[in-house]
Structure 1
């Protein structure tokens, strides 16, 4: 291996750039065999070699990567930038503000708490669908959004002024991942260093699990917890194990009538079945030549759903075409092409890198599909949906007569009450958005109308979408069916579906109806979309429109009529489904100028945003009366040095005994909550009326609300409180069923540590740091599960919670753990792979078993010893000159 710090010059259109050539450390015959994603990681190490975080041995190990060469090898990855959304971003900024205060208490310089890399926060998670089906829905929802979130937005504006390298994209602009794809991402990054322009691959981490969408553009990035993102913002590398890289070969072309949504649901199902948690997935094959970049982004977006760390596509001509369409400069496009070719990062036909394992999909075999009713990997062929639903529903169907807006109709089990074109997964993809518009156009021309019980909404991921739908002449038809624009943000996809009309909601409650939503989102976990909606199906935007016409999932939409025209003639799906040629002809409506104009003043915001007053100050002036923004307790009592010994857990009780696939939504829900919940009771005690509760997600800057919302999902099933659903447990101090929050407080009063027992795939779903923050604030010291999802395991360590994994074959049931036992853990020391646990039942019987310690890297051991990643970083910065 030659000099790992060697640089070379790259001349593009007469301008010289400096770069770190991979050929300086990789043999030419080996470079072509390295996966694209490994090349990006290698360049990162090459450029950041310092002898400490990154050594020459690290570079050499990655330069000679083979599928079996680097088992359990840790590296330090330094992303070029960080992106945030407001639900996860507000607590990040709260923590940074709290760290400034804590630094002052330690006697240090608060100005050390500043982002060291560019950070962009896009406000997209707060808009709710209160108004729909009218042309003024967008304006009314925006007004309500600012009314509800004024304090949070004021805080973010303070942060924008107080911190360096921190930009905020204001509300009603778009969804973070679509804004990243269309505008923020550079593909090749440039930085001025010592009078030279150094170029390197754009890379990032984000506080949203769907950060992976940018992988479609050839940019490496993935979701991390807010606490890990804060460390990256403060200049700390992301420690990670060198991943296995799964090669996914795409061949052939999609058949007419099949959408990118159908493709991604198929890919998700295949990769879930293979098992790719903690792995990189890289797409290759001849099929990429005919796969538009928007389709690539759709596939990359759902990496969290198939369980991978990322789902990346290499740079090729299609990448450059999209950069040109979306308004990137010709200078950047030329640099991207030349740099990618110089580094061996350019996709050539026939490229076949060496992968850990591979699988293949002929895209010609993909059929129209949906996924549900409660997991995104549970794909159902569209023609089988009605049969699947009818098997799930009771034979004795419930129905009720409802009157809404002067119209009386029958609402039945299986009725679709929410139809939402939502989510960056699909609204970033012009082909499926235009197809939805064409379905609406044909439906209107055939005299069809949406069913009166369907709540319809269109929430584009950027304002460019509205521009091209308008230019294509399709907006008027979408409006006529009821798909008026309700906001530019995540809306229904993250649970901000807003209230159902009272008549509908009351009928569902009074008759215990099992109703459905059909949405173009990426997640459909229980209780996520709407508390009253038990079945949720992910589908393409044109299918979302079609199901608003049919109004039920109990009928076969592929064979039965979806409605009748004014002459009483049956109209079928095939009568309104657009041909590929029709969709293709509409794509010409999309012009580069739309992107250039749409993003020309992206940080300016509306008049409502500009009118938010904010004071400029180095430290935040906390308001004790605030129920949105509060100084968190993480640094209370913290000393300048880390504790000498690791925590010991003795006499622990079980707070919750949970099953498989417990999501971060189960642990820390994002949606609305009722007055009788602990969070609701707390806000009422602070003088907040229930109409002003907003959502858990919007309250993430206040730990008092969030700890009360932890394990409070209405669909949580805790086996310690049989017969209940929601955030309840048995308090073994009095053997009574209580809320999880109340029981936790009782245990903490007696200084009793707590643990959680769980099954497989614990912590799947969103990269929600509050699922870990709430856990530690409830007094939970350890979680023992059969397996963990990547981000949540990392977040638990980052908050000082010990993740432990049952040995293969062991489960709560096989070990006879009921949850009423007292648990004692053997002393823990750094680097331990297993630890012994003794469970003592109420009658004195003891069971001793071993579990795996899932602190996976040396850096994570340092975090855990410090009580968490924030405490570690704060102490490091305090010691720094």
Structure 2
């Protein structure tokens, strides 16, 4: 029960039912002056604090600080405790979270407590969507074969998740083959306004909010649901009732005006927005969209923009509730009672955006006229690397000579064994309609189907070297494509259904045909992939493909027809038609009106209600998965998928005292923008790697290695794969010519031996030597991978010193007991002349306070040294407690045991 200092608890009548809620207008009258002018996202945070005021985790002063935001606009460091209504997980990040919960139950037993105390206290939904791989493609049997392989590979994981579903309260699992978690969330799970039974027996209504163990949790911001991605560590704490410690954010208002021109897609828009916001710099900030242009965007368009929050670096990209939100909830089959509550509640709270209403107060603003957006792609390796479609070919040519050092090699053709074609630089070997970003949007999927139909009518076919795939975000999408008669046209161009899940975008693209892979690698070709995803980091999509381009599903089909990114599709033909005449992209591009007509006929309310009627039941395969029972999990010591992690072994009721870092060695010197894909194990497991050696020692054949993502429940595999990305560069390591090789290598000091980073870390551990890492700007950007922090901790790293951090990864490092530090402005390990053979001392950690300045001591190999001023990025008092306990889960476990 809230203390309700502002006397704002009142009742709302909707459709004959009575709801209790915390009224923002009443709170304003009671002293929170001006809060009606706050950004909508800040109003959601304010309501959260009003509802949870307890005098401890949320105080009256915390609430007043939100009102004071209007004066400082987020430019003060005020910590608050945010409690999300629910938690969303996908299986890659969800399995280790459930592993940790199971391990916490064992830890609770060790501390003499009740294991049943370890249960989610808020609703948790886990959607199994990251395990399907595109092995089979371009045939009618692709879907069944890929699902069959998925179950074969993941039997142990699925057995474990089914145990979790039965063992834990408040925990639901959406089975494989249903859809991508963010699309299932937007189409079904999210409610915009949440309800629960309060302690006094009344029905409490409040904004639907969440955190998710996938960075693209932000997609649901398009449905006026405030949420963002966190590491599995933070999500587990939220599940266990801990507030999410955060600083009151700056809120950047993004004004949209006008409407998109004919032929311009939501994908083109989001790539433009991403580029603008990345340039503006919004890391750690909220972005909220406003302006008359919102009236010209469907909810699917909004969800597309919100989805890519991690790509533009914001905590969230929020769209307020309005008539389009209400329309979408109704059209996707939400209960009419809930739709009525959403509209009435948001209007009563001042959370409903009315046309022509004054804009809220923002920290800062930027604007975009939608009519200026051009057809675009992003690549070859950054989501913010937008290139106008007219410039893709010339930009690739520039990258070929500059980025890839292939000047003078542009025209070389490489033979392909057993095939009647040759490959060249820039040839598209993967064309994938995939990922949550665009497969949530009927306009671009129907558009892709119509473009395929028009291409077939003119006699065009996909190029034989292109691996084509279609992985829709939900079963609803497959159904409306089938219903519209467009799936057969996509099938005819090789875009057969390969599965429901996150495939190519996370590296589950599957192997290329052997002869294609061989031609690429033996000839040093810079092959291309075009995908409708949100991530195109190097080494992510496929180990054979270096140039990756994000594009709308329509352009994915177009590039499958053209076969190369070296062609200007705005001027050059896609190919020759059946009549012998050239066919251009403009000849087959469907009109906006035609697309909308197909949507109106085929994307219906009944479709959503039917497909989500038994969403947790699963198919016959899921129902046949064997499960175990019991409050604690019966760990299988022989499993290579799920193991009991070492975090809680030997845990004591009180934490051990914090010690200073003394004589630490530098495990790695990294450059700028090291992503969590570089840090965390992801993609395929190489036989000649520490993780591969571990599996081979346990009689696992390389053909059965699966991938790192599916083995996230086994810390032994994951710690061996940390920093093992094939493209990562550790500048401690130098070849004879002075260059730094790619791959996860380190130099053990003082021996000078080169070895894998994992092997070096284990050698240091045996020697009792602590480790530090130095890095550049935006360390840890990308997906919210908790293993990027867990693996780092298990390798013995005590501190990471960087020029700046991405928000989620900084938080996760603290959550694993690692201290993040930042250099003073203008300083970097490069300006300091570090080479990697130095030692580092960092004193004062036992007394460290939030954002405290400390002085480290760096000693060079020749005995000389210097003092290094650093800012400790443990940002809040709660984070200090997590650090002192050795991590957030240790803190929670001790609290529950006490």
Q: TM-score range by the shorter chain?
A: over 0.9
**Residue in 1 that maps onto 2:848:** 830
Deviates most, 6-15 or 775-784: 6-15
Q: CA deviation at 1:606?
A: 1.1
Distance across 2 between alignment mates of 1:2 and 1:864: 32
Please tell me whether residue 565 in structure 1 is matched to residue 577 in structure 2: yes
CA distance in 2, matches of 1:46, 1:586: 45
Query: Does the 8 Å CA contact 1:755/1:783 hold for their aligned counterparts?
Result: yes
After superposition, residues 130-169 of structure 1 pair within 5 angstroms as 130-169=135-174
Any stretches of 5+ residues in structure 2 without a counterpart? 401-405, 735-739
Q: Is residue 862 of structure 1 aligned with residue 881 of structure 2?
A: yes
For 1:331, the equivalent position in structure 2 comes to 337
Tell me the secondary structure at the aligned position of residue 641 of structure 2.
coil
Partner residue, 2:808: 791
Inter-CA distance 168–5: structure 2 relative to 1 (3 Å threshold): farther
Counterpart secondary structure, 1:213: helix
**Equivalent residue in structure 2 for 1:556, among 546, 560, 568:** 568
8 A Cα contact 1:122 1:168, kept in partner: yes
Q: How does 1:564-583 map to 2 (within 5 A)?
A: 564-583=576-595
| 1:365 aligned residue (345, 368, 372) | 372
Among 807, 816, 822, the alignment partner of 1:805 is 822
1:737, distance to aligned residue in structure 2 (A): 1.1
Distance 2:494 2:466 in 1: 9
Aligned to 1:769: 786
Q: Is the aligned partner of 1:83 residue 2:88?
A: yes
For 1:53-94, what per-residue CA distance to the aligned partner results, in whole angstroms no more than 9, with x for missing partners? 001111122134215165100000010000100000000000
| Contact in 2 for aligned 1:4/1:59 (Cα 8 Å) | no
- Name structure 1 gaps, 5 residues minimum: none
User: Are the aligned partners of 2:4 and 2:53 in contact in 1 as well (CA < 8 Å)?
Assistant: no
Q: Which residue of 1 aligns with 2:491?
A: 479
The question of 1:816 aligning with 2:833 is answered: yes
2:322 maps to which of 306, 316, 319: 316
Instruction: Give distance in 2, aligned partners of 1:320 and 1:523.
Output: 30
The root-mean-square deviation of aligned C-alpha atoms, in Å, is 1.2
* 1: CA distance, partners of 2:820 / 2:351: 37
What is the aligned partner in structure 2 of residue 624 from structure 1? 637
Q: Provide the residue aligned with 1:513 in structure 2.
A: 525
Q: Secondary structure at the match of 1:450?
A: coil
1:265 and 1:376 in contact (8 A); partners too: yes
CA contact (8 A) 1:756 1:783 kept: yes
User: Is the 1:706–1:770 Cα contact (8 Å) retained in structure 2?
Assistant: yes
1:279-337 Cα deviation digits (max 9, x unpaired): 00000000011110000000000000000000000000000110011000111111000
Structure 1 residues 62 and 839 mapped into 2: Cα distance closer, same or farther (>3 Å)?
same
- CA drift at 1:677: 0.8
Q: Is residue 2:726 matched to residue 1:708?
A: no
Q: Equivalent residue for 1:203? A: 209
Query: Contact (CA 8 Å) 1:228, 1:795: kept in 2 or not?
Result: yes
**SS across alignment from 1:11:** strand
- Quote the residue 1:399 is aligned against: 413
Q: Counterparts of 1:77 and 1:540 in 2: how far apart (Å)?
A: 36
Q: 1:127 aligns with which of 127, 132, 157?
A: 132
1:69-80 map, 5 Å: 71-80=76-85
Q: Do residues 183 (structure 1) and 185 (structure 2) align?
A: no
Match of residue 353 from structure 1: 360
1:428: how far off? 0.3
Distance 2:878 2:499 in 1: 42
* CA distance in 2 between partners of 1:516 and 1:311 (Å): 30
Shift of 1:764: 0.2
1:96 pairs with 2:101: yes
Structure 1 position 2, deviation (Å)? 8.2
C-alpha deviations, 1:726-752, integer Å up to 9, x for none? 111111132021000111111110000
Q: Distance in 2 between matches of 1:600 and 1:116?
A: 26
- For residues 155-188 of structure 1, give each alpha carbon's deviation from its aligned partner in whole angstroms, at most 9, with x where no partner exists: 0000000000000000010000000000000111
In structure 2, the residue corresponding to 1:578 is in which secondary structure? coil
Q: Secondary structure at the match of 2:432?
A: strand
Structure 1, 72-81 or 574-583: larger mean CA deviation: 574-583
Aligned ranges 1:418-429 → 2 under 5 Å: 418-429=430-441
Aligned to 1:593: 606
Q: Which of 679, 687, 696 is equivalent to 2:691?
A: 679
Q: Note the 1:525-536 alignment, pairs <5 A.
A: 525-536=537-548
Give, in whole Å, the separation in 2 of the partners of 1:311 and 1:74.
21
Residue 820 of structure 1: CA displacement? 1.4
Query: Could you tell me which of 234, 237, 243 is aligned with 1:237?
Result: 243
Contact 2:73 2:363 in 1 (8 A): no
Match of 2:655 in 1: 642
Partner of 2:384: 377
Q: In structure 1, how many angstroms separate the alpha carbons of the residues matched to 2:828 and 2:483?
A: 58
Q: CA deviation at 1:403?
A: 4.6
Q: Give CA-to-partner distance per residue, 1:440-487, whole Å, 9 cap, x none.
A: 001100100100000000000000001111111111100000000100
> Which residue number in structure 2 is paired with residue 872 of structure 1?
891
Q: Is the 8 A contact 2:73 2:251 kept in 1?
A: no
> What corresponds to 2:737 in structure 1?
none
| Cα deviations by residue, 1:177-212 (Å, 9 ceiling, x for unpaired) | 000000000111111122211100000000000000
Please give the alpha-carbon distance, in whole angstroms, between the structure 1 residues aligned to 2:628 and 2:707. Answer: 26
8 A Cα contact 2:531 2:551, kept in partner: yes
Q: Which residue of 661, 665, 668 corresponds with 2:680?
A: 668
In structure 1, the partner of 2:254 is 248
Alignment of 1:7-46 (within 5 A): 7-27=9-29, 30-46=34-50
User: Matched residue of 1:54: which SS?
Assistant: coil
Q: In structure 1, how many angstroms separate the alpha carbons of the residues matched to 2:413 and 2:878?
A: 57
SS class of match (1:850): strand
1:824, distance to aligned residue in structure 2 (A): 1.0
Q: How far, CA to CA, are the matches of 1:672 and 1:568 in structure 2?
A: 43
Give per-residue Cα distances to partners, 1:201-245, cap 9 Å, x unaligned: 000000000000000000000000000000000111101000000
Pairwise CA distance, 1:825: 1.1
Q: Distance between the aligned counterparts of 1:33 and 1:633, measured in 2?
A: 49
Q: Tell me if the contact between 1:26 and 1:64 (Cα under 8 Å) persists in the aligned partners.
A: no
What TM-score comes out, normalization by structure 1 length?
0.98
- 1:787-825 Cα offsets, whole Å, 9 max, x none, are 000000000000001100011110111112222101111
Helix, strand or coil for the counterpart of 2:429?
A: strand
Mapped contact 2:224–2:319 kept (Cα < 8 A): yes
In the aligned structure 2, how far is the partner of 1:445 from the partner of 1:75? Answer: 59
- Which residue of the partner structure matches residue 53 of structure 1? 57
**8 A Cα contact 2:472 2:478, kept in partner:** yes
Is the CA contact (8 Å cut-off) linking 2:561 and 2:575 kept in structure 1? yes
For the 8 Å contact 2:91–2:128, the answer to whether it is kept is yes
**Aligned residue pair count:** 876
SS in 1 for 2:334: coil
**Correspondence 1:261 to 2:267:** yes
How far apart are 1:646 and its partner, in Å? 2.4
Taking the aligned partners of 1:563 and 1:570, their CA distance within structure 2 comes to 6
Contact 2:73 2:250 (C-alpha < 8 Å) held by counterparts: no
Of 277, 301, 318, the residue aligned with 1:295 is: 301
Would you say the 8 A contact 2:681–2:787 is kept in 1?
no
